[in-house]
Chains A and B, each alone.
Chain A
Amino acid sequence: QVQLVESGGGVVQPGGSLRLSCAASGFTFSSYGMHWVRQAPGKGLEWVAFIRYDGSNKYYADSVKGRFTISRDNSKNTLYLQMNSLRAEDTAVYYCAKEKSIRFLGEFDYWGQGTLVTVSS
């Protein structure tokens, strides 16, 4: 069965950095695009970033462009999100999610359990 397990969340000061990881299993990781989606406390879902199955294309939400970098290691079945210049408004649960298709359609068929990132001094 498909499993996505995020890790790397925690408390970080404003302006700091953090790297999230998402370990994937139960499917051919190298054949699917992957997303990061976040949810601020008590708020709705916000799409953050996408990476194509082969890493050749990456897309970002305007709110994180220039600060966050999505990447993947298909040999390790792992997705990453490098977050720099963190702000209070980045505080959220971060989910990794599998794209249902080979390309970006915005249809997320499996989700991890999420990892909490808190930006606070």
Chain B
Amino acid sequence: QSALTQPASVSGSPGQSITISCTGTSSDVGGYNYVSWYQQHPGKAPKLMIYEVSNRPSGVSNRFSGSKSGNTASLTISGLQAEDEADYYCSSYTSSSTRGVFGGGTKLTVL
């Protein structure tokens, strides 16, 4: 069981927007602004899409955005495209002894 909770799957049609949630506690997501999101295509390494809750690395499309409210962070993808179909993972800094923590991952299907 992962420390951060994500929905197992979400889906949307091309052009639509979807949101993936990532729920933790006050010891991780709720307590720090160090939430990051990763995209992983099958057989490939993960890629950083969002860091520090809402910042995009250079080269990442502005269709990807992040936010946080309380103990839940969210990744929103607008204007869905076929190439967005992938697994998405959240991660957060945590004050617990576990140190590193990921969500269980969400499979995004573009219909």
Binding site for B on A (CB under 8 A): 35, 37, 44-48, 50, 59, 61-62, 95, 100, 104-114
- Chain A residue at smallest Cβ distance from B28: A106
SS class, residues of chain A in contact with chain B: strand
A111 to chain B: closest residue by CB: B45
Q: Which residues of A contact B46 (CB under 8 A)?
A: 37, 45, 95, 108, 111
Contact A61 B98, beta carbon cutoff 8 Å: yes
Residue of A nearest to B50 (CB): A107
Min CB gap A98→B, angstroms: 10
Are the CB atoms of A59 and B99 closer together than 8 Å? yes
User: Interface on B for A, CB 8 Å cutoff?
Assistant: 2, 34, 36, 38, 40, 45-48, 51-52, 57, 89, 91-94, 97-105
Contacts A109-B48, A109-B51 hold; do A62 and B98 have CB atoms under 8 A apart?
yes
| Alpha-carbon distance A104/B92, docked complex (angstroms) | 11
Report B-chain residues with C-beta under 8 Å of the C-beta of A109.
Answer: 48, 51, 57
CB of A47 within 8 A of CB of B99, answer yes
- B16 to chain A minimum Cβ distance, whole angstroms, is 25
| A50 and B94 alpha carbons, distance in the complex (Å) | 14
Extra inter-chain contacts (15) besides given A50-B99, A107-B91, A109-B57, CB under 8 Å:
A44-B103, A45-B38, A45-B105, A48-B100, A50-B100, A61-B98, A62-B98, A95-B45, A106-B34, A106-B36, A106-B93, A107-B36, A111-B46, A113-B45, A114-B45
- Residues from chain A with a CB closer than 8 A to the CB of B92 are 106
Tell me the complex Cα distance, A37–B34, Å.
18
A35-B100 CB under 8 A given contacts A106-B93, A107-B51, A114-B45: yes
Q: Are A107 and B34 touching (Cβ within 8 A)?
A: yes
Given contacts A106-B36, A106-B91, A108-B38, contact A46 B45 (CB under 8 A): no
Instruction: Indicate if the CB atoms of B36 and A44 lie closer than 8 Å.
Output: no
A107 contact set on B, CB distance < 8 A: 34, 36, 48, 51-52, 91, 93
- Determine if A112 and B34 form an interchain contact, defined as CB atoms under 8 angstroms apart: no
Q: Which 3 pairs from chain A and chain B are nearest by CB?
A: A47-B100, A111-B45, A44-B105
**Cβ–Cβ < 8 Å partners of B38 in chain A:** 45, 108
Q: How far, in Å, is A25 (CB) from chain B's closest CB?
A: 16
